[in-house]
Amino acid sequence: MKINAVEIKPGNILEYENGLWRVVKTAHTQPGKGGAYMQVELKNLRDGRKNNIRFRSAESVEKVRLDQKDFQFLYAEGDNLVFMDTETYDQVTLPTDLLGDAAAFLQDGMAVTLEMYEDEALSVALPDTIEAEIVEADAVVKGQTASSSYKPAILDNGVRVMVPPFISAGTRIVVDVYAREYVRKAD
């Protein structure tokens, strides 16, 4: 679907120079001399390259719509992750680096959403928060409990997060997957 350059918004997926790009930032500029243009920061969905492009306001670009499908994480196999389509039970193998830092939070049987373009998976979205268990937490330093201080702790998946002083080893907590932050104590 063709759209004018002025309609480009962050989060849009564009087809540009035979590649798929996600719009990261946009800035509409009207210089005193010459025509207006959109300064657009793009990130390639296949290889992660970034690019800054200027589109003239009258220029049109191809906007791509990605299909979102529900999958379930099955297991890790070397540098790859295996997911199963919840409707057709087909299995898809994807490289771990497609998830980036969020890959550490994958749990067996976790429901995820894959963004697909012509049956090719381009990104994996995990739930915003997950439950994890603290396996190691530093002791509270006496006198530090009066202020809102945090202490380092290690989760059962090896990720290090900062937690409030009352959290100890063996406690289950809810963690924000993308910010890698403590949210609350699990129920």
- Answer whether 0.75 is exceeded by the pTM: no
Cα gap 73→145, rounded to integer Å: 40
**What pLDDT is recorded for position 142?**
66
Give me the pLDDT at residue 172, please.
Answer: 93
- Give me the pLDDT at residue 147, please: 60
Task: Please give the structure tokens belonging to residue 168.
Answer: 């100890």
pLDDT at 125: 82
**pLDDT value, residue 72:** 93
Question: Could you read off the pLDDT of 49-77 as tens digits, one per residue?
Answer: 888 999 888 888 888 888 889 999 999 88
What is the SS3 string spanning 107-164? CCCCEEEEEEECCEEEEEECCCEEEEEEEEECCCCCCCCCCCCCEEEEECCCCEEEEC
* pLDDT tens column, 126-152: 888 899 999 988 877 666 555 668 888
Sign of the CA dihedral with 73 first, then 77, 78, and 81 last = negative
The pLDDT of residue 122 is 79
CB atoms within 10 A of CB 27: 11
- What distances in angstroms separate CA 71 from CA 18, 169, 178, one per listed residue? 28, 32, 19
Query: What local confidence, expressed as pLDDT, does residue 144 receive?
Result: 57
Tokens found for residue 95 = 């490289």
What per-residue confidence (pLDDT) applies to 82? 92
Taking 70 as the pLDDT cut, the residues of the chain under it are 141-148
